[in-house]
Chain A
């Protein structure tokens, strides 16, 4: 419990404008914030000597289909010092479908952000190499969006040349 208080206290004092929201489910602490602060919050959580979230386990997104802020980008980060997992979330709207990259903080998020871009079409600003990762570069759709049919779209994947 103490560590969770410490994290929220530190974030409150350093990022008063980030619209921080806390929730807890099955023992996991979720922190939601304004997407403008993602890079600075992640950098802070990694570099703070009392927290040291050195490992970024996962970057992904959730498509809520009919909500106003359609997507939520979710980061799972782990502190080896405290053996503690923290969930960070930032809402992204479809009209401005972009968020800052954290690949400068954790190198591993490079590919994870590429995967999120490939599957949901969320652009990561300042990403060094934002290409599709699983689907071919010419593919026009984003398969994990809820409006993409399970059957796929006929003709969307052309056969290879030759």
Chain B
């Protein structure tokens, strides 16, 4: 991390950085320092760049700079069919690709008015909750690593590895799953996959308790997070916080409860809420949510009955591959859907699910064509990074690392 000169920072960013004072950059650099943190920095969880204005070790100003991973997914979505975009959703929040798959197909189904069989909905709930568990395990582990507790990272990743093994059985891929389909899921959940899910959620509680024991009794961990990066209830709402970060600030808001989708109204779960709004509360919320997700998965396994996994709408839902090769009708439909898309009626919808990081929404505009006229991805990480200047102002530079870890941004999603 080098000292910056005037030429290295864009004048508009510089202006924002120095806006609280009438000092010029030369004056500021006499006593203060402009530190360039990232985009390649292990603690920024990807390619997030922060420009910090420091007085000694205290952060006076902060300007986040995103866009280093901008791939233009919204533009690409406008030029491909609804089916083709499913693999691209894996690359948004790459820690929980299954949740993104579910969010995308739910938005498209709402746009096209497709009903999905109950078993497929339950399978989607299982994968979305397992994705949340995986995401929170990585969040807790990397967060602990950021503040110096390395062991926890290894332990939580060991648990996540078991989820990746489940993905492997379920859909043949460990990271980029692309498991859901419009109108259902790619294939039925195999009995061995469901058995492994059951085994996993049963052993999770003990293993999570072990991880928590390492952290909750760790005085260094607690003192580095307690009261750091506090955001009040009003500010959190105004900044558009959703998900665990909002619940850590004392707002009991969860889209699974507020606007029930899939079969979430049939399961019983608690919404963990803390009132402190600091980094420690955000960690506690995530740890509690892992337990609640495991509880939901356990209930869904009880409720699930055998049945269809795709709706019977040949013009809109891709047929099974085995039928494509043996039946004429299916071959024609497969050809039509792959080449021309599913042509939802003219209209526009917004559908959001409670993703692992917060509200993950897709806004789709259809002109009755095979590809969307517009697709907007509402990603929680983008919104959360926006509040960083508010959180880090007046804190020490070492707290910045803890605060970034506590809001858990994923740059694949923030930069789209």
Which residues of chain A have a CB within 8 Å of any CB of chain B?
25-26, 28, 54-58, 60, 62-63, 74, 76, 80, 83, 85, 87, 106-112, 115, 119, 129, 131, 133-135, 137, 143-144, 148, 150
Contacts and interface: CB of A to CB of B under 8 A. Distances in A.
Interface stretch (B74-82, B125-133, B148-156, B265-273): B74-82
A107 B239 contact: yes
A108 B67 contact: no
Contacts of A110: 386
The 5 closest A-B pairs by CB, nearest first: A108-B240, A134-B67, A134-B70, A83-B258, A111-B386
B12 A76 contact: no
Given A58-B376, A111-B386, A76 B349 contact: no
Interface stretch (B166-174, B190-198, B358-366): B358-366
Contacts of B66: 133-134
B347 A25 contact: yes
A135 B70 contact: yes
Given A62-B365, A108-B239, A150-B76, A129 B16 contact: yes
Given A74-B363, A112-B383, A134-B416, 8 more contacts: A25-B348, A26-B113, A28-B349, A57-B359, A137-B10, A137-B12, A144-B78, A150-B79
Contacts of B235: 107
A109 B383 CA distance: 9
A26 B349 contact: yes
Interface residues of B, number: 45
B237 interface: yes
A76 B349 CA distance: 11
Nearest to B352: A57
A57 B258 contact: no
A106 B16 contact: no
Contact of B251 (A74, A80, A144): A80
A107 B238 contact: yes
Interface string B25-64: 0000000000000000000000000000000000000000
Nearest to B415: A134
Contacts of A80: 237, 251, 253, 258
Nearest to A62: B374
Contact of A54 (B12, B113, B237): B237
B367 to A, nearest CB: 9
A85 B259 contact: yes
A135 B239 CA distance: 23
B13 interface: yes
A109 B238 CA distance: 9
Nearest to B16: A129
A56 B240 contact: yes
A62 B387 CA distance: 26
A135 B352 CA distance: 26
Given A55-B237, A107-B239, A62 B75 contact: no
Contacts of B237: 54-55, 80
